[in-house]
Amino acid sequence: MFYVKEKINDAVEVTIEIADNVFCHCPKCGAEVEVDLSDFIGDKEFDLYGSAVCCEKCSKKFFREVVK
């Protein structure tokens, strides 16, 4: 299990499992995108800090432009 842990103050520490509730912002339009990290296992180019996933609308637009 992977998780994020953040100390709020001396009395409160929050731990959140990274599983089904992973999100990022589309680098094109800023929309929130739910991400399944298992889709990126084995992708040497993917990292949690520098990678992003485009939303469906921007992805469709991108592929329409590439396929022309």
Please determine, for residue 61, whether its predicted confidence score (pLDDT) is greater than 80: yes
Task: Identify the pLDDT of residue 68.
Answer: 66
The tokens describing 16, both together, are 């959140």
Task: Identify the pLDDT of residue 37.
Answer: 87
Report how far residue 46's alpha carbon sits from residue 36's, in angstroms, rounded to the nearest whole number. Answer: 13
Task: Provide the 8-state DSSP code for 16.
Answer: E
Task: Identify the pLDDT of residue 58.
Answer: 95
Q: Where are the domains of the chain?
A: 2-67
Task: Identify the pLDDT of residue 60.
Answer: 93
The per-residue pLDDT for range 12-55, each reduced to its tens digit, is: 999 988 878 889 999 999 999 999 888 888 888 888 788 889 99
Write down the residue that tokens 């298992």 correspond to. 38
